[in-house]
């Protein structure tokens, strides 16, 4: 549960590494927030003939998603760092069809064991091996 809110604590921190659990739990949090807001917006729009309820619900959803876009990008960049890739790989998602799939594969891959170019391993792997052979 702590990992779910970690990207909100590191709101605009694009440095370091993010574990798979942190990335996917935050994705789950975004789904758990956006799904009920979308349903409420749809129900409010269907119940109101003028459509003002749907506009209000959609506006709330839009504001929430705008507030979560920066931590979403930041945790994706840190997740790419964990796989020893530059954060600029996030731009591959703009390629239709294959870009999102490639980014999905990168987010599913296990992180680099031990320290890499972007910092120490968030799981703490590889540190004990270095002390054994030091």
How does DSSP classify residue 92? Answer: G
How many domains, the chain? 1
pTM, 2 dp: 0.84
Three-class secondary structure assignment of the chain: CHHHHHHHHCCCCCCCCCCHHHHHHHHHHHHHHHHHHHHHHHHHHHHCCCCHHHHHHHHHHHHHHHHHHHHHHHHHHHHHHHCCCCHHHHHHHHCCCHHHHHHHHHHHCCCCCCCECCECCCCCCCHHHHHHCC
Digitized pLDDT (tens) for each residue of the chain, 134 residues in all? 788 888 899 999 999 999 999 999 999 999 999 999 888 877 776 666 666 666 777 788 889 999 999 999 999 999 999 999 999 999 999 999 999 999 999 999 999 898 999 999 888 887 555 555 55
Maximum distance among all Cα pairs of the chain, rounded to whole angstroms: 73
Residue pLDDT, tens place only, 14-39: 999 999 999 999 999 999 999 998 88
Range of the domain at 103: 2-132
């Amino acid at each position: 549960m702590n990992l779910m809110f970690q990207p909100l604590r590191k709101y605009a921190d694009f440095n370091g590494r993010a574990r798979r659990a942190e990335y996917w739990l935050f994705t789950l949090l975004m789904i758990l927030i956006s799904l009920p807001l979308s349903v409420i917006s749809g129900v409010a729009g269907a119940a109101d003939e003028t459509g003002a309820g749907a506009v209000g619900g959609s506006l709330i959803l839009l504001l929430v998603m705008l507030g979560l876009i920066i931590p979403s990008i930041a945790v994706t960049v840190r997740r790419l760092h964990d796989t020893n890739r530059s954060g600029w790989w996030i731009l591959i998602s703009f390629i239709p069809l294959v870009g999102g799939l490639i980014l999905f594969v990168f987010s599913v891959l296990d992180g680099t064991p031990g320290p890499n170019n972007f910092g120490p391993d968030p799981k703490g792997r590889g540190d004990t091996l270095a002390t054994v052979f030091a």
